[in-house]
Amino acid sequence: MGLPVGRLILRRFADGEVHVQIEESIRGRDVYIIQSTCPPVNENLMELLVMIDAFHRASAVRITTILPYYGYSRQEKKATGREPISAKLVANLLTAARADRVVSVDLHTPAIQGFFDIWMDHLSALSLLTEYLRSVRRSDAVVVSPDVGRVKLADKFSRALGLPLVVLHKRRPAPELAEIGLVIGDVKDKAPIIVDDMITTGRTINESVKALLDAGAKPEVRVAVTHALLLGPALDYLKNEAITEVIVTDSIPLPKEKRLDKIRVLTLADLLAETVRRLNRNESISALFGA
């Protein structure tokens, strides 16, 4: 955007409490705070809430929080009794802290937009990922949804790339565990492109690759996701020789020790910059996505 980053000091007191000091006047200004609530999730979320409060008390005219990755997004419903809906709780916290607008990228479930009583803009990295995949597109490729919950997302990829769609039926015997029970579609002698919103532990990707190879797919699998959490055994799973490339965005900072040679990181900077420009000028955000 050609603008300097705002100046502030963020530190911890001896007991771990977050303290923020804004180092310039922001009275009457339009403020945009960019903070992914990725691991450490609670630390980053609390930092964000304290920053919002500081900017509000410093008389910012409008505060927009940009969360490239929305933490707690997988807890958007009650799967069993006596569970929280933590994604809604986070929306309440951001509202209570007096954010005026929230922007996020590829929510785990789009319905989370409805949790907010303030303005909420849901961006997509679809065009960014498909633009890259189009440059390496193969005639024998197929787009693969790792479970039925990602069919709509995978269908958008298949339409954008002009490729067939394959769906895997996934079961979760326990949290963070995945089993693939059925491959729906033809993958024999095909090069799969597995698409999802995030890679957490990598178990879903690992099981998906096994199921695809067992069904006759070529050991030339690409994986395309927006959010690369890469926790626990994820890197070991991604080292599988059948996975030739993993395409992710920088919605979550990826340290050097996690940057495998096969991981390609695409930046969201242009998308977020244009979003900020349009919000500041009260222009359409949906026009960014052809709507």
What is the per-residue pLDDT for 172? 65
Q: Between the CA of residue 111 and those of 76, 121, 259, what are the distances in Å? A: 8, 12, 32
**pLDDT for 180:** 76
Do residues 30 and 105 both lie within one domain? yes
The catalytic residues are: 170
- With vertex at residue 169, the alpha carbon angle to CA 172 and CA 147, rounded to the nearest 5 degrees, is 80
Residue 1 lies in a domain: no
Closest CA to 33 of 66, 62, 74, 8: 66
Q: Is residue 167 part of a domain?
A: yes
Q: Quick one: 141 and 70 in the same domain?
A: no
Q: Do both 275 and 187 map to the same domain?
A: no
pLDDT reported for residue 289: 86
In sequence order, which ranges of 18-172 are alpha helices (DSSP H)? 41-57, 86-96, 126-135, 151-161
Question: Are 139 and 208 contained in the same domain?
Answer: yes
Same domain, 180 and 114: no
Tell whether 113 and 157 lie within a shared domain. Answer: no
Question: According to the model, what pLDDT value does residue 175 have?
Answer: 60
Q: Please name every residue paired with 31 in a beta bridge, in sequence order, or none if there are none.
A: 63
Number of neighbours of residue 18 by Cβ within 10 angstroms: 16
Residues 48 and 14 in one domain: yes
Domain-embedded: residue 3: no
Look at the chain and report how many structural domains it folds into. Answer: 2
Which domain covers residue 76, as residue numbers?
A: 8-124+270-289
Q: What is the pLDDT of residues 93-102, one digit of tens each?
A: 999 999 999 9
Same domain as 108, residue 183: no
Residue 243: closest CA among 228, 216, 230, 261: 261
Low-confidence ranges of the chain (pLDDT < 70): 172-178, 291
pLDDT confidence of residue 170: 74
In this structure, is residue 2 part of a structural domain?
no
pTM: 0.93
Q: Are residues 135 and 257 in the same domain?
A: yes
CATH assignment of the domain containing 155: 3.40.50.2020
Within this chain, do residues 139 and 254 fall inside the same structural domain, yes or no?
yes
- 276 inside domain: yes
Residues 236 and 165 in one domain: yes
209 and 110 housed in the same domain: no
